[in-house]
Structure 1
Amino acid sequence: MKAIISDMDGVIYRGKQLIPGANEFVQRLLSEKVPFLFLTNNAEQTPLDLKLKLEYLGIRGVTEENFITSAMATAMFLRQQKERATVFVVGGGGLINELYNIGFSISESHPDYVVVSKTGNFSFETLKKAVRLIDAGAKFIGTNPDMIDPVEGGNEPAAGTLLAAISAATGKKPYIVGKPNALMMTLATRKLGVHPEDAVMVGDRMDTDIVGGMEAGMTTALVLSGVTTRDMIDNFPYKPSFVFDHVGQIDPAAL
């Protein structure tokens, strides 16, 4: 049986609404002892936040060890690049917490990096600071490229939208750590102790989850409960290994 690496937004929930079949899917993974991780481009929340969110939505049995966020991956990447650094953060507590955990300082004064993730507190003043710091030499990092996130009632702007604004103003492109960067996939398979060919990437986006899983050598399973619709699949030059309406239809033993 293959290990499962699953996205969250658009796969397990949309905003604050559980997707039908999601609890049954997770309980099947737990009861059948399938190794699994939630690999999310969400950088706003910590693994504890995500665990508590799942519990609030009615999903029990998951631990903090079952998560890797793009904030965690970004912190791991930056720690490999530099032992000590200062960072200007455009983002929330989840990202700031991970950067503090690796010993980095948060500062607006000549930072080594400007790190950008999704945040509801983005303003013109924040945009202006980020642009000026990057123009002054700070390296431009993005946690993930997602332009929109699925929420109840539709979609909302995500990290990629903020990155695009800063990129337009500076003329510089960010280095993006999250999916579809293979770094995220490598961290996940390494944490599970499996080879990529023995893992399945489950996601709702052809442009991040599916292409990232495919390039890492995993089996891929697209669910149609989030961003990508069935009509959109043919717009891409690659195909998922499986397509499901939602995760409740997935039998891990059949993948």
Structure 2
Amino acid sequence: MAIKNIISDMDGVIYRGKNLIPGAKECVENLLKNNIKFLFLTNNSEQTAIDLIRKLELLGIKGLTEKNFITSAMATAMFLSEQKPGGTAYVIGGGGLINELYKVGFSISENNPDYVVVGKTKSYNFEMIKKAVELINKGAKFIATNPDVIDPIENGIEPACGALLAPIERATGKSPFVVGKPNAIMMTLAKRKLGVHSEETLMIGDRMDTDIIGGLEAGMKTCLVLSGVSTKEMLNKFPYRPNYIFNNISEVNLEKINKELEILEK
């Protein structure tokens, strides 16, 4: 079955920190020009879809709308609103996460909240850890936007949400429920938003432990790009492999991939 749609990660695939990855602009322009359905699915919970649109515009990529994005903050808010409409949460995270929770009717509170929600933030500190541990021990449910321990930036890597979760997990002895990739919930929300089937969709990402396993478990073809976190040397550490491996997104050619699939089906 031909691949007609693309779901792609952003960090490490489209850009690395503040730098655009070679070929990303041309790739997005080609998707828009040929009316290919695509969605940027990112574990980034700090920024809203509008923030991401503006970031890409500054990097030279134009023509995108909010319908082209789903973040782990959006997915977390959707999930929690279905679990407990009008609930309350103590949040360790950026403005994007807080904004999405407000949009679904949640209140932000330190007074016996229903949930403690953790996402990536640069304002992380000891008092936040202390409060989160206290509230979880009192009965608040522990939620994380995503499990990523590191994120790629222009000069290397930096700690991500998974690193912020670690001390809270150790102190409480409890693990969070993680909504973002590779959880099937986020993959399902992405496919529902795009209105596509798994068999006709390619998942592109730079992480074996989130993008590739998530796409694989969702029944999609998977493509690993080596412009972010994962390297070829890391592949042997995993019991699964992507369908395709490229240096960066500029090498992803749907026409060529579909010709190969057609030959294999024969």
Q: Which amino acid aligns with 1:182?
A: A
User: What do residues 119-141 of structure 1 show as CA deviations (whole Å, max 9, x unaligned)?
Assistant: 00000011101110101110000
- What does 1:23-172 correspond to in 2, within 5 Å? 23-172=25-174
- 2:260 is aligned to none
**Contact residue 37 and residue 188 of structure 1 kept, 8 A:** yes
- 1:191 is aligned to 193
The alignment partner of 1:62 has SS state of: coil
Asked if residue 230 in structure 1 is aligned to residue 232 in structure 2, the reply is yes
Identity %: 65
**Contact residue 29 and residue 252 of structure 1 kept, 8 A:** no
Unpaired stretches in structure 2, ≥5 consecutive residues: 258-266
- Structure 1 position 83, deviation (Å): 1.2
Asked if residue 205 in structure 1 is aligned to residue 207 in structure 2, the reply is yes
User: What do residues 68-117 of structure 1 show as CA deviations (whole Å, max 9, x unaligned)?
Assistant: 00000000100110112110000010000000001110000100000000
Instruction: Report the Cα distance in structure 1 between the residues aligned to 2:119 and 2:256, rounded to whole angstroms.
Output: 36
Q: Which amino acid aligns with 2:223?
A: A
Q: Which amino acid aligns with 2:135?
A: L
Instruction: Report the Cα distance in structure 1 between the residues aligned to 2:50 and 2:256, rounded to whole angstroms.
Output: 31
Instruction: Report the Cα distance in structure 1 between the residues aligned to 2:209 and 2:199, rounded to whole angstroms.
Output: 20
Q: Which runs of 4+ in 1 moved over 4 A?
A: none
The alignment partner of 1:38 has SS state of: strand
- 1:178 is aligned to 180
Count of residue pairs the alignment pairs up: 255
Q: Which amino acid aligns with 2:218?
A: A
Cα RMSD after superposing both structures: 0.7
Q: Which amino acid aligns with 1:216?
A: A
Instruction: Report the Cα distance in structure 2 between the residues aligned to 1:166 and 1:82, rounded to whole angstroms.
Output: 23
Instruction: Report the Cα distance in structure 1 between the residues aligned to 2:230 and 2:57, rounded to whole angstroms.
Output: 26
